Amino acid sequence: MMTKDQRVKSGSCPKGVRAPIQLWVVAAVLAQVQAASEPLVVPNGSFELPSTPFVSLVINGWQRTPKPAWYVEDGGFQWNQLTGIFVNTAAGAADHLESLDGRQAAWLFAVPEAGLFQQILNAPGTSPAVYESGRSYRITFDAVGGGGNMLEGVTLQAGFIRWDAGSNRVWVASTVVTNSPALFDPRTYLRTFSLTTPLLAPEDPAVGTVIGVQVVSTVSAAAQGGYWDVDHVRVEALTPTQPELTHVLEAGQLRLGWRSETGVRYRVRRSGDLRGWTVVGEPVLGTGEAVSVRVPVGAGVDEFFSLTTETVE
C-alpha cells in the first residue's frame, strides 16, 4: 500500500547511451511503517513507587484488574496479593535480577485474569493521552517468567487498551509472551518485548479514546501457578515519515538516495509495470544520515523503483 508517490522522469541522455533512459522513481512507504517517535508518559512505569524495603501491595499509578466472580479468596491468596511490587535483592544474590531498570519491579501471579492496567499521559501531570488517527503506538516492556515452578507454555498478554461507553476495557492491540526454559535462561535476566499497533484510521473505534496499557495473565485454570516479574513499561506515539527519493544517472547506473531514520530498515524494489516487484540487493539499515544505493539500469525502458521500510525491533 502506498501513502505517497514521488515520480520523477529523467529526460537527460548520459554519454554513451544511444536512446534516452526513461525512468520513473517511485517513493512508496508501507502504511504500517513508522519512523518518528514521541515518548508518552507511563506513570510509575518501572514500579519504583512507593519505595519499599521488601514488598508492597500498593502500586502507584496502576490499577488491578477486577476480581472475577469465580475467584475464591477463602483460605488462599487475596486477589490484591496476586500483584505487587518488590525491591531487587543485593548484587551477588542467587535471585538478583541483573537487567532491572531501577531498584524495583512488579510481580504478577500466573492466575487467570490477574493483571495491572493504567492510563497513559502526554506529559507528567497532564490529562490522559488519546489515540490519534494517522499514528500508531508502540509499547515496550521487560518481563521474565518461570518463577515459582511456572509450567512451560503459560502465557502473559500485554498491550494497548481503550475504554468503551460502558467503561469496559477493550484490547486495541496486544502481544503474548509464552513461558519456556529456553526463552528465560537464565531466569535472573528480564527479556524485552515490544508491540507496535497498525496505523489508526479515522474510523477506528480507538481514535479519540484514552490510551491505556494492560498486562494480564492469560494462563488456563489447569496450568495456573508460578509468577511473572514485569518492569520498565514504556510507550511511544509513532508518526509515519515519507523519505524523499533523489536519483542521479551515473555511467549506466541509477543512484537512489534518501535521508534515513535510525532503527528503520529500507528495501529497494524495482518493477517494469507496477504490478510485479523484485527486491534489489540487500536491505539498508538507517543511520539517521543520508544513504544511497546504486542500481544497474537499461536503455530505452521504463522502470519503477520503490522504497519500502520496516521498523527494526
Residue range 51-91, pLDDT digits in tens: 999 999 999 999 999 999 999 998 789 999 999 999 999 99
Kindly report the pTM of this predicted structure. 0.73
> How many domains are contained in the chain?
2
Kindly state whether residues 100 and 201 are assigned to the same domain. yes
Kindly state whether residues 51 and 192 are assigned to the same domain. yes
Domain boundary among 194, 223, 239: 239
Q: How far apart are CA 163 and CA 139, in angstroms?
A: 18
In this predicted structure, what is the pLDDT of residue 263? 65
List b or e across 122-147, with b for residues whose CB sees 16 or more CB atoms inside 10 angstroms. eeeeeeebebbeebbbbbbbbbbbbb
Residue range 112-140, pLDDT digits in tens: 999 999 999 999 989 999 999 989 899 99
Kindly state whether residues 81 and 177 are assigned to the same domain. yes
Which domain, by its residues, includes 179? 37-239
